[in-house]
Structure 1
Amino acid sequence: MKRSLLSAQNLPDSYGHIDPDMKPFWHLCIVASSFIMLNESSENTLFNVAQVANITQLATENDQLKFDCHVLLHEMVSQEIIHWKLLFTWSPPEGVKVQQMEQLPHCHHCEKPPNTN
C-alpha cells in the first residue's frame, strides 16, 4: 500500500488554528525546533516557536518518517522572527533526530514565494 506524503503550510494559521489532523506534525516541529533553541540559546535569548511556515514529508526507504521543515522562531528579547530550515526524522523507537539545521538569511525586502494553489 502506497501512502501519500504529507505537506502543510502555516501551522498555526493567522487565526491561531491548527487542523486536528496536523497537530502531531506541529508537535514534531516543536520538538525538532528545540534542538535549535538548545544550540543557539544564550542568557540573552528566549526562543518560542511562532509558526511552521511549511513542512513536507520526504520519501524514505525505511520505517522512519523524514521531514523538511521551515520554522519561524520568535526571539522574545529582540522581538525578531528568525527563519530556520530543518531536516529531521522520526520513528517511535528512536524519536526525533535532527539531521540538518540552517538559519535562513534575514530579509526585509524578499519576495513572498509564489502562491501554489
Structure 2
Amino acid sequence: MQPGQSTDSLRYVTLDLASDSHARAAIEAYSDSCAAELPWLADILRTRLETLNRSVDRTQDHFAGFREDEAAPMPLTYCEQTARRLMAFACMCARAREDYSDAAWDHVMKSFDRMLVQMR
C-alpha cells in the first residue's frame, strides 16, 4: 500500500513483530480484543509476544511497583497511547459522579504516567 492509495481493497496486513514496536502494540491489542471469543488465538499471540520479550532485554517493560512489599513486577503494555486514551475516558466518566475527587484522580494519573515512563 502506498500513501494516498485507496484502502477499499485492503484485506490483509502483515506485521513485523521482530522489529516494529507498533506491530507488537497491534498484536497485544488484538489478543485483548479476541480473548473472550477466541481464547486460543489470544494465548498464541501473547505467547509469541512473551517469547520476543525474552529474546531481548525488555526489563523496562515491567513496572517494579511503588513499594518493595508488592508482588513480582507487573508486565506493562506496548499500547501506551491506547492505555492513555482509556485512562482519560475513565477520568472523564469519574468527573460525572458527585463523589469525584480531583486529588485522587491526580494521584492516579501521576502514578499511571510514572509506570508508562518507566517502561520506555
Q: TM-score, normalised by structure 2?
A: 0.27
Greater share of residues in strand: 1
Structure with larger RCO (C-alpha < 8 A, sep 6+): 2
Structure of greater Rg:
2
Q: TM-score, normalised by structure 1?
A: 0.28
